[in-house]
């Protein structure tokens, strides 16, 4: 598992988002063990509390399960991502690359067309 920190988002948010993405993309499988909090913190040059915060958030979302002695693993429920959405996401990536559209611009386009919830 490779996590890279960049940008202005808080490190815990970046870790959480990247792990969430790795699970959604099928790059982290059900029951797969993640590095310990201490190991990942050491690898990224962060405080253990920062990584622990990201792991806790992912546990609350049901994506990770932590058990004493067994470590932190990907939840079996987390890997039931809708295959059609993943397939379409990959098609969007290919289309964006073919048209020389950056990741940031592609995300802006998705946000623009995503239906907004009404509050009335």
Query: Tokens 């958030």 belong to which residue?
Result: 57
Domain ranges within the chain, ordered by starting residue: 11-78, 83-113
Q: What is the pLDDT of residue 27?
A: 86
Question: How many other CB atoms are found less than 10 A from the CB of residue 34?
Answer: 21
pTM score above 0.95: no
pLDDT at res. 79: 66
Q: What is the mean pLDDT of each run of 10 residues along the chain (120 residues)?
A: 87 95 86 95 96 96 91 84 73 96 93 75
The residue with tokens 């067309």 is: 113
Q: What is the DSSP string of 2-40?
A: -----SSS-HHHHHHHHHHHHHHTTSS-TTPBPPPHHHH
Per-residue model confidence (pLDDT) at position 69: 87
**Whole-number Å distance between alpha carbons of 62 and 80:** 12
11-78: CATH architecture: Orthogonal Bundle (1.10)
Which tokens in the block code for residue 88? Answer: 């379409």
Element (H, E) at 59: helix 48-60
Q: 106, 93, 81: which is closest to 25 by C-alpha? A: 81
Q: Coil, strand, or helix at residue 69?
A: coil
């Amino acid at each position: 598992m490779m996590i890279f920190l960049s940008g202005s988002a808080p490190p815990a948010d970046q870790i959480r988002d990247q792990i969430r993405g790795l699970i959604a993309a099928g790059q982290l499988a059900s029951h797969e063990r993640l590095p310990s909090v201490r190991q990942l913190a050491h690898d990224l040059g962060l405080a253990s509390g920062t990584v622990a915060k990201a792991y806790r958030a992912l546990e609350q979302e049901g994506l990770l399960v932590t058990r004493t002695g067994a470590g932190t693993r990907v939840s079996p429920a987390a890997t039931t991502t809708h295959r059609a959405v993943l397939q379409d996401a990959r098609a969007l990536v290919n289309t964006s690359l073919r048209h020389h559209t950056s990741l940031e611009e592609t995300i802006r386009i998705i946000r623009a067309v995503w239906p907004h919830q009404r509050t009335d």
